Structure 1
Amino acid sequence: MLIYYRTSLMAWFMIYYYILTFALFSHLTFSQSIVDTLPGFPGELPFKLETGYVGVGESENVQLFYYFIDSENNPKEDPLILWLTGGPGCSCLSVLLYQMGPFAINYTGSTGEVPTLRVNPYAWTKVANIIFVDQPAGTGYSYGKNQDSYMTSDSLSASSSHEFLKKWLLLHPRFLANSLYIAGDSYTGIIIPPLVQEIYNGNEVGAEPLLNIKGYILGNPLTDHFINFNSRLTFAHRMALLSDNLYESTKTNCKGNFLFAEPGNLLCHNDLQRIAKCLEKIQMSNILEPWCGSKFKGKNLLPSDQSSAESYPTDILQQLHPVPKSWCRDDHKVYSYTWANANTVKEALRVREGTILEWIRCNMTMFYVRGKERTDSYIYDIKSTIDTHKNLTHRRARALIYSGDHDMVFPHVGTEEWIKLLGLPVEKEWGPWFVDGQIAGFTERYSHNNYELTYATVKGAGHNAPEYKPKESLAMLIRWLKGVRL
């Protein structure tokens, strides 16, 4: 009898919860679909994929498209991760296909109009439930119902992502009890800290639904506009791309400010021009990879502040022994455009007809341009999130900050600089971490009361570490989620 009573009470509670949820959100428009097959993938998907839209903002004029993959391990117990992609304006489909999603492009088998897909053995969905969101409107398959919906900013993007998450969880209440982490890379270092702060603030005042926030994850993040961009030259010097004399001369003549030379400071201008010449053929996303020119100019993931490829005269040795074309990572990106714009793919993903003209990896109308305050559709109103990180050190939270150590977009030296500014006590001194008996990178752990920050480099990785070192990146995530040393 007692068991029956408790069961009935729980059933009535759930009925009441769904009635309340329906009453609160019955005026809202949602769509969600289970996707069993994808063009290019053989047979049924061996993981659970859901796609859909969640409306946010005034009158829900912004419709954010998402992909949700259940954990392939234990969806009920494994953490829930909200993944935001940088840019701003870069589609999370690029992350799914090239970094940590359960499916990836099968390059060797892709010869037709629609590329073929394969299972990614190092998908982060092996150990976590992940929501990948195209945000803001104009990114990927997300769209706005009117022109004003495409105008946004850093702070508005953070708030919209918070609204999206709350509405998504009300539609998926079974995940309300799962540990929640907010994650992203690159430009989302500007968006995620204020978003995490909003979540903690909302929980404090009892905003429904209460979110079981445990912390956040950031990869090669932009955190402070001056520190991160200024650190590029320090990184280049450390990696032997600049001589000691040139670096020291520039540091002296430019007074430590490598971004903007003072008008009339000819010595600084001259040094910066020499440095630009040294670095113009360096692939910033990973300095060890070949320079490939500007094949995807206007759509590439990286800041467009590198010089265009220049045609040098072919020397006599090249005439006698032609050099084969260098492999370029950007060549792989062609497949994402072909796949994502195929009508069969959009139908399979349940993309609403007539909502986008063309899927592109990064929408350049909002993509960050260094030194600018805004574009026609995006306002960069947050210049630094260091103070927000400091505020979060007073919360019960865990943070994982990782950096591919060959990335010159937002180099690890800049990340290490702003982490030191947090003033956190070191709990575990700098040392190596290993995968398969080999050094996978180096790590240091900080703590303050109930706050813990783990910093890790990923050896040999570039700007998006899981793309370059998938096995090591997954090992890093698994160990961190379990709370064990890397």
Structure 2
Amino acid sequence: MAASARKPRSAAFGLLPLLLTTALLLGCGCVRAAPSGAEVTQVPGFDGGALPSRHFAGYVTVNESHGRRLFYYLVESERDPANDPVVLWLNGGPGCSSFDGFVYEHGPFNFESGGSPGSLPKLQLNPYSWSKVSSVIYLDSPAGVGLSYSKNQADYQTGDLKTAADSHTFLLKWFQMYPEFLKNPFYIAGESYAGVYVPTLSHEVVKGIRGGISPKINFKGYMVGNGVCDTVFDGNALVPFAHGMGLISNEIYKEANTACQGNYWNVVSDKCERALSKVDMEIDGLNIYDILEPCYHSTSIKEVTKIPQSFKDLGVTNKSLPVRTRMLGRAWPLRAPVRDGRVPSWQEFASKAATGAVSGVPCMSDEVATAWLNNESVRSAIHAEPVSSIGPWLLCTDNLDFHHDAGSMIVYHKNLTSQGYRAFIFSGDHDMCVPYTGTEAWTASLGYGVVDSWRPWFINEQVSGYTQGYENGLTFATIKGAGHTVPEYKPQEALAFYSRWLAGSKL
């Protein structure tokens, strides 16, 4: 976990005038110091009138000599941006854009197809946007992902530790650009391979705070959804999950358990391999990201039947919500947890799947996001480089040569929570890509005492999942019926646990 020491901001970035500006802003109570030209004044595809909060977007250069630039999109809180938490959101991959979360999960809009391939999508306000209760920064990281890029192609050879260091540099510079948010509680959140991004970045932030680096970030904790964590725990999670969900018979489960001796991630015998092949064959036709859903979502509309009063107080209305189409590749593939070493791209997995070398990635669509983010009027409106300059936006890129060089995340979680930083670890309980069985096991393995015993949590007097609270501010929770990207499948439940946890109340 060692990383190079960082200099104080005045030395590292040569921005003494900005330090003085920050002090003046915080002293006078001014509410806006955003960089000139960063505000998004109109959003192509949205014709619903004034936005419920201000949006800002643009680039932060994290390495001047290489021209390494990370793209962000800030959605201010609709409630009280001066005091509400600020949350950094990261999607996984590695190599997948955080606009996945913006477009398909908890961003300010619901996106609908424009009607013809490549046409501008239609945007409506999302009643379950996480900006109802917080400001959210969507960051494309590392360089080469989404709208982020580098002028030096060598930067696309990267890994966990370099990604964390760059993201920390981004945060220091971002808070210099937006000093009015320095006093707000700050959290880091993400899903899937961000199960690695979030703890490693949190570690860098805490190290910077303890090292006296300016500006001092008001970091309070972090959230991880269906996140990868540890080779052994994640690798051994699938078979028990499939058995518990009734996807494989008791006979097949017993055969695999006996042949592999409960160790499914590191096959050491032909007998174990044959047993696991039977498991693969039985679950091959399922959507690994949500075993309840078909390969493609339908275009039908799901009705939201009842809105709690607490949500109405946030401005949430009772309306129909489109079921959003899904994407290709969000996390580690089925039965192939990454050991210390290079992480194959999703395109490589798809290619191997075509030859029968590994289980295939399910058929999923990112059509709406691709059409919107490759539209030149959108690129201009959100201050992103044009397609002609940095190429088309891809949900998940194969530009990276990415190495998993941070090891198990368990030591990171132990270190962060033992220092008093709150952690919320949640799982959609029907995700087969990073099954809750592994996450439940590793959270318990930290050895903390239980302070809130396993119990259901509710919305509208209905069970929405289960939770268990531990010492040192660690909470594990499941979301009933949700898949790999929880806010996409269960937006109402996601806003509920998100707002409750940020407020410091029990689930």
Tell whether the 8 Å contact from 1:37 to 1:348 is kept in structure 2 after alignment. yes
1:472 corresponds in structure 2 to 493
Alignment of 1:356 with 2:380, yes or no, is: no
Q: Distance in 1 between matches of 2:482 and 2:36?
A: 37
Q: Distance in 1 between matches of 2:65 and 2:23?
A: 20
> Secondary structure at 1:237's aligned position in 2?
helix
Map 1:81-160 onto structure 2 (within 5 A). Answer: 81-107=87-113, 110-111=115-116, 113-160=119-166
Q: Distance in 2 between matches of 1:106 and 1:96?
A: 13
Tell whether the 8 Å contact from 1:32 to 1:53 is kept in structure 2 after alignment. no
1:320 corresponds in structure 2 to none
Tell whether the 8 Å contact from 1:88 to 1:187 is kept in structure 2 after alignment. yes
Tell whether the 8 Å contact from 1:406 to 1:460 is kept in structure 2 after alignment. yes
Q: Distance in 1 between matches of 2:50 and 2:235?
A: 45
Aligned residues: 430
Indicate which of 436, 439, 454 corresponds to 1:415. 439
Q: Distance in 2 between matches of 1:266 and 1:114?
A: 52
How much does 1:300 deviate? 3.3
> Secondary structure at 2:39's aligned position in 1?
strand
Q: Distance in 2 between matches of 1:393 and 1:52?
A: 33
Q: Distance in 2 between matches of 1:19 and 1:179?
A: 17
1:40 corresponds in structure 2 to 45
| 1:323-379 Cα deviation digits (max 9, x unpaired) | xxxxx9934x2111111111111111111234321111011344xxxxxxxxxx211
| 1:47-104 Cα deviation digits (max 9, x unpaired) | 2111110011362521000000110000011001111111111111111111000112
TM-score under structure 2 normalisation?
A: 0.80
1:247 corresponds in structure 2 to 253
How much does 1:165 deviate? 0.4
Q: Distance in 2 between matches of 1:400 and 1:281?
A: 32
Q: Distance in 2 between matches of 1:37 and 1:58?
A: 30
> Secondary structure at 2:473's aligned position in 1?
strand
> Secondary structure at 2:389's aligned position in 1?
coil
TM-score under structure 1 normalisation?
A: 0.83
2:368 corresponds in structure 1 to 335
Map 1:302-451 onto structure 2 (within 5 A). Answer: 302-303=331-332, 305=334, 330-331=364-365, 333-353=366-386, 354-366=388-400, 377-447=401-471, 451=472
Indicate which of 275, 282, 287 corresponds to 1:283. 287
Indicate which of 64, 80, 84 corresponds to 2:70. 64
Unaligned ranges ≥5, structure 2: 1-15, 25-34, 298-324, 335-348, 356-361
Alignment of 1:209 with 2:215, yes or no, is: yes
Q: Distance in 1 between matches of 2:406 and 2:17?
A: 41
Q: Could you tell me which amino acid in structure 2 is paired with residue 480 of structure 1?
A: W
Tell whether the 8 Å contact from 2:455 to 2:466 is kept in structure 1 after alignment. yes
Q: Distance in 2 between matches of 1:285 and 1:254?
A: 25
| 1:208-246 Cα deviation digits (max 9, x unpaired) | 111111000111110112211320111111101111121
Tell whether the 8 Å contact from 2:295 to 2:363 is kept in structure 1 after alignment. no
Q: Distance in 2 between matches of 1:272 and 1:429?
A: 34
Q: Distance in 2 between matches of 1:301 and 1:339?
A: 20
Q: Distance in 2 between matches of 1:391 and 1:302?
A: 24
Q: Could you tell me which amino acid in structure 2 is paired with residue 40 of structure 1?
A: G
Tell whether the 8 Å contact from 1:81 to 1:128 is kept in structure 2 after alignment. yes
How much does 1:20 deviate? 9.3
Q: Distance in 2 between matches of 1:97 and 1:424?
A: 37
Q: 1:211/1:302 Cα in 2 relative to 1: closer, same or farther (>3 Å)?
A: closer
Q: Distance in 2 between matches of 1:227 and 1:140?
A: 30
Q: 1:105/1:309 Cα in 2 relative to 1: closer, same or farther (>3 Å)?
A: farther
Tell whether the 8 Å contact from 1:292 to 1:309 is kept in structure 2 after alignment. no
Q: Distance in 1 between matches of 2:173 and 2:44?
A: 30
2:21 corresponds in structure 1 to 18
| 1:381-438 Cα deviation digits (max 9, x unpaired) | 1231101111112212111111000001111110011101111110010001101111
Q: Distance in 1 between matches of 2:404 and 2:37?
A: 32
> Secondary structure at 2:475's aligned position in 1?
strand
Tell whether the 8 Å contact from 2:93 to 2:329 is kept in structure 1 after alignment. no
Unaligned ranges ≥5, structure 1: 1-12, 22-29, 311-327, 367-376
Q: Distance in 1 between matches of 2:407 and 2:233?
A: 10
1:373 corresponds in structure 2 to none
Q: 1:470/1:191 Cα in 2 relative to 1: closer, same or farther (>3 Å)?
A: same
Q: Distance in 2 between matches of 1:32 and 1:161?
A: 22
